[in-house]
Structure 1
């Protein structure tokens, strides 16, 4: 307590003196206090009980409470006193020290007003809406009575101005956690994460205090047009760290690399000689790539497209066409699938074979004689 806060102990009472009083009677709008050694009681108006607005004096004072007060006026057979001003004198010294050091402290939110929150620190502290959280808050009613951590961002004792920020504390804590995460992870790590935001180009995933980007190409083994069709905000996912840039605090992640690939166990699902239905995905000069399962394409070499000689696959096939293919070879390790369309088609150029039945009894006749007799009819 500063020198000006010395409590009055003699019998001469003047304005500005600090005294101790005991609440003798508590009414709605005032508290009557008895002061030791004083010739008469004093009155503390409700407006002088707290730096905050209160509806009834009994909300903050009960009969028998000992209060530290300052005499603001000496009237005939009465003192007018203030508890609020004593609290403020004691509070400003502490607040100035906290402001100078950037100290973080906890305090209860006493009220929610238009534009922000109110905190009682011996003086009225105001938390503007923009300094409550690091995200937009639509309704602050749930904050009343809640204890939060604060830093002082602005202090003017002469004007009685005290601005607090919870957002500054949150951001400071997040930055500290970011640095810990950035120094603790490396390329190739597989981590648990939570989807925080979804954008047209990918998703931001929280991996424990910092967000990393999963580009749309790294969401799934399948082609993804809309990230929302695959992921939802708040979804728990596993991610693989692709790269870390501590200076820019950028982390590239992949969900795809933590999932079984489409080629996984392909040799158990596809066997040589099996017939599949697929879709032509790409036509190139040397053949056609046909998708037979999501993410699995096999090559139909140009020589395996048709029995007829063709110069380009475009003569027979088109993109998006559905075709039947036969598996010629499958190699899961090299992710190669060789297919044929030709072997499932009839060959129109194949020569008709003779299909003559020999008589059941042919003793006495040679094969040449039998065929010769039949050929006579063509002369």
Structure 2
């Protein structure tokens, strides 16, 4: 079917779909002739069949008139034009909220990557990619992204993975459990993608049991739960562990599913131990710093210094000497 796009011709009109074929849909718009919705104008996403966009006989919808058929002057309709406007509005809103979104990498060039977000194509410059992967490795993968520029008039949509990763890094507290995907294996450990950030799961932190060949436990593409052991923001290094999540030593080798099911519970226990150790360390500091105004009782309770000391002080001659260790 030959049809003509007319610049400045666009306006909205309501219509009811009454028939579909391989190339599009016929729409009753109560005009002198039938209007037509071409397949390529049915959806903001690329589809092979009109039904994939929910276009079926009986559907009543608001369409945009974008042209007319050269043969019989019938109207040419679009739903994609409406979806594009909504997508740009959504991107502007997300930028204003400084939100992190998921974008699928669909292409790349020497300057960066092309990502699909909200149905629109955006550009991610290589200077805004923080993952230690080449452009080819990222094709067809999803990355967390933030909006840098949203200019509909110039069809300019600039995105940043680096800014989104910085947000995620701020949430990587020691002892927190995150879900990641194994990227690659090395003799010394596995690199795991945790929301666009690459963390190292060292071979010694996979299990309490000794592992001689990592490939017998993990494979690239495996999805697993890991606990954050350390996070060096300046160097961008994250150390991970599944060993700390094992209910019993060796579970990561024998029953990794159980490890992931119990991950939060085991991590909570780990965090409690860390908190107790920090509390004891603080108590030791106060114990040897009377000027703080606090002291520990015989029961280990932290409180103010006792006011029952004699005004003239303590006679040190009455204090027995310390026994020397043999």
Q: TM-score, normalised by structure 1?
A: 0.39
1 or 2, which has the higher helix percentage?
2
What is the TM-score with the length of structure 2 in the denominator?
0.44
By relative contact order (CA 8 Å, sep 6+), the higher-ranking structure is 2
